[in-house]
Structure 1
Amino acid sequence: MIAEAVAAGPGRLPQGMASRRAQLSWGLFDWANQPVFTVITTFIFAPYFTGVMAADATEGQALWGYVQAFAGLVVALASPVLGAMADRSGPRKPYILVFQALTIVGLVALWWAVPGSPGALWLTIVALTVLTIGAELSIVFNNALLPTLVPPERLGRLSGLGWGLGYVGGLIALFAVLIVSRPEMAGISVPEGEALFGLSQASHAVERLTGPASALWLVLFVLPMFLFTPDVPRAGRGGLRAAAEGLGQLRRTLEKLRGYRNEALFLAAFFIYNNGVSAVIAFGGVYFAATFGWGTTQLGIFGIIVTIFAAIGCFAGGWLDDRIGSKGTVAIALLGMAAATVGILSLTATAVLFFVDTPPVTAGGPLFGSLQEQIGLLFAILIGICLGPAQSASRSMIGRLAPPQMFGEFYGLFALSGRASAILAPLLIGLVTQISDSRRLGIAVVLVFLFVGIGLLLGVRERRGPGPAT
């Protein structure tokens, strides 16, 4: 087996050599990291940051956009260089270890995000930036392992399995947050003003604890990937030599993109539409919390419902990916997300479909008791169903298009394209929100990226195995 790996060349293991345990362990990486995105940057901590730690919800949405934009800039600049280095040196796991450790440090620091405490706002901004950079850069190298584990015709299913496991992990994490926040829902009595384990509601201890708890979750469940998933063999190059060769190879790769026009077009399309996808993830919980005045309980239940449908959509998307191809799967998912975004923007606390007045949302009223909340939940479910296929099929499409000896480079460029999109969309949302003093106009930026990205994607020729692109 080692001889076969060496014969396959640096950056590439023989197709089909990974065991089922190795593949499942690779998928658990998404499970381990999902609370970072589900609990921290989408449904629980992000709304807490924008609605409680910031001066007001509009300023909070703008600050959140700037945090995401800066983290995206760092990842966008670093990921292709590191990807090329990994292709030259061989193993991906050492890179994953370093950036997962960075993620853990940022998560633990969120415990000190106490509202009103001197310096807490800036500490939280730094911690959120660090954990985002760490999580996203580790994903670059985990993604680069994907094509080494299964043949091309099974990329969609394994990629979908990873995303699906991630959503299930995020779902369980949200359930845990909900029970800790509202233990009476599980029949557990606690003193008034306290959550489970004696956590203070007044100091927002539950929201702050999501950081260290997500760090513990990550440590426990990322271990199988390190233990059981095979890494790429070492190519015999040291770090400095690999860095120098990696930078040179990156320059040549960018130059050669003129000869890989189909791949370049997909990367451009992905850059555009992933602006919209990333913004939906980063700002969804923030927007609903500010529009309807939701707290941790409502956001937790909302997140659970959306995540259930996201997991279903993800597993179904993996099947659809292998049936009709990555391109068609992504296009369908993006159209669904665009339609749902228009629907969500049509809602306010006192109206639906832009102009139809409704009774206002009542603070402390029944869960999802207003018409606008119920319609908003339906649109959010549609986004959840489409989110997994859009992400998973994009990841597997790179595996279909990239030359086998350049997987690390192209996944680095894929990360560059994706994280560069995480600069532009949050930055524009932050600027539009701040200039217009309107959260709705800020989020409307999403639609431009989704529709332009779909238009570019239609011009990509997909390759679904050996042979020319179709």
Structure 2
Amino acid sequence: MKFSKQQWGWIFYDWANSGYGILVTTAVLPVYFKAVAQSAGVSASNSTAYWGYANSVGTLIVSLLAPLLGTMADYPHMKRRWLNVFTWAGIILTLCLAVVPAKLWWLLLIVYIFASIGYSGANVFYDSFLTDVADNSEMDAVSTTGYSMGYLGGVLAFLIFLVPELTHGLGGLMSSVAIAKFSFVLAAVWWIIFAYPLLKHGHQQYTMGAVDHHFTDSLRRLRQTLRHLSHYRQACWFLVAYFFYIDGVDTIFTMATSIGKDMGMKTGMLMLVLLMVQLIAVPFSLLYGWLANRIQTRNALLIGILVYVIICLSALHLHTLVGFWGLAVLIGTSQGGIQALSRSYFGRLIPKNSSNEFFGFYNILGKFSAIIGPVIVGIVTQLTGRSTLGAGSLSILFLIGLLIFWRLPKLSK
């Protein structure tokens, strides 16, 4: 499929913020924060708890704001404006992570909370732009290409970071603190460069009518939508299914490094596993787009959910590092595809002129879903003493999501 200039601008936003996702959220800041906090006398258990609380606070704030912000962005010229506001907030605050003194662990945490709000808030508007840049027949291809390019961009940003990391600070020219701060600057600059086309030229094709008071009218529309959810029965049932299976997807990704550590993997090896998963996700995200075109989006999504059921059930018998690598490969094959096709499937279920409002609900359920999975893993791990059994218990979330999603219809292009 040949993409338009607007579609490429949208696709490259995924590439743009991927540096933040892998460098700040996943690979560097969690480790850097724990080191900074412990050097200041904070115990390992407390630093882990504080990191968890920070992520929960950021998630809660974005989740509560998403539906209202989404509703406000459905008016003429507002979607790109709000995308710019949250993107620039995320970029500036990511740069601020690099200037926070290493001893002020609490300030580092506060800045990260607000940076994560910028990142997650911007994604609400970015996701909803899909309905503006692609029609129903194009959504699967555009969405999966966005995820594929996002993973590729994340890999390239990560490889740049690995140059000073693996050369011991370019032969001693950079300290470990300087390397961490370099990663934050890299993530922000990466974001600025590749987000520019969408931030500057993103065109909002579908809008609500112009009004004098955006805030009050948005509240009215939001109340009206909540009262008439039965009119959007398919979209609502999809969101219920999505809530369960995306919880499992997110939990597996966030808990994988902890499980690897429990199995005796070194940090360097875990970094390689993370890089491998990202690389595998690049072609397989595109493959899911091809599958959706061949066998329908619904069936391709069912395959993705079933792959995750297999991953969870296999984790019940995970005892070796070779097995861990094998499951990591399976995760890479379906992680991007299941997220990309969920976005495009939902985009075809909702009214286009209020897409931002509906993607607000999509994002709030995606964020709140990150609560159940970690709790299940934690409880099962504590009761059994094996984190692999905790990961295996997530199969219940995928099975619930699968049963609900099974009831949803195929959608015409």
Deviations, residues 4-44 of structure 1 (Å, cap 9, x unaligned): xxxxxxxxxxxxxx971111111000000112222222234
Larger radius of gyration: 1
2:19 paired with 1:21: no
Deviations, residues 283-322 of structure 1 (Å, cap 9, x unaligned): 3234324543422x43332222111101111111111122
Q: Which deviates more, 281-290 or 164-173?
A: 281-290
In the TM superposition, what is the alpha-carbon distance from 1:443 to its structure 2 partner? 4.5
2:227, 2:387 → 1: CA distance? 40
1:380 counterpart (313, 328, 347) = 328
Show the 5 A alignment for 1:79-228. 79-111=66-98, 117=103, 119-120=104-105, 122-183=106-167, 194-195=169-170, 198-201=173-176, 204-228=177-201
Deviations, residues 148-204 of structure 1 (Å, cap 9, x unaligned): 222211110000111111010011011112222113xxxxxxxxx644681113xx4
Deviations, residues 228-278 of structure 1 (Å, cap 9, x unaligned): 33234785435xx11111111111111211122111100111111111112
2:401 paired with 1:417: no
Structure-2 change in CA distance of 1:210 and 1:88 (3 Å): same
Q: Which secondary structure state, in structure 1, belongs to the residue aligned with residue 228 of structure 2? A: helix
1:324 is matched with which residue?
295
1:58, 1:82 → 2: CA distance? 36
1:46 is matched with which residue?
30
TM-score (norm 2): 0.88
2:378, 2:218 → 1: CA distance? 35
Question: Structure 1: which amino acid aligns with 2:174?
Answer: L
Structure-2 change in CA distance of 1:287 and 1:125 (3 Å): farther
Question: Structure 1: which amino acid aligns with 2:411?
Answer: R
Structure 2: gaps spanning 5 or more residues: none
1:292, 1:246 → 2: CA distance? 52
2:383 paired with 1:446: no
Aligned 8 A contact 1:145 1:231 in 2:
yes
Q: Which deviates more, 139-148 or 101-110?
A: 101-110
Same amino acid, percent of matched pairs: 26
Q: Output the aligned Cα RMSD.
A: 3.0
Q: Which secondary structure state, in structure 1, belongs to the residue aligned with residue 138 of structure 2? A: helix
2:111, 2:11 → 1: CA distance? 26
In the TM superposition, what is the alpha-carbon distance from 1:440 to its structure 2 partner? 4.9
1:269 is matched with which residue?
241
Aligned 8 A contact 1:65 1:430 in 2:
no
Structure 1: gaps spanning 5 or more residues: 1-17, 184-192, 353-371, 466-470
Aligned 8 A contact 1:175 1:300 in 2:
no
1:74 is matched with which residue?
61
Give 1 or 2: higher helix fraction.
2
TM-score (norm 1): 0.78
In the TM superposition, what is the alpha-carbon distance from 1:326 to its structure 2 partner? 2.5
2:232 is matched with which residue?
260
Aligned 8 A contact 1:82 1:412 in 2:
yes
1:249 counterpart (199, 221, 227) = 221
Structure-2 change in CA distance of 1:458 and 1:197 (3 Å): farther
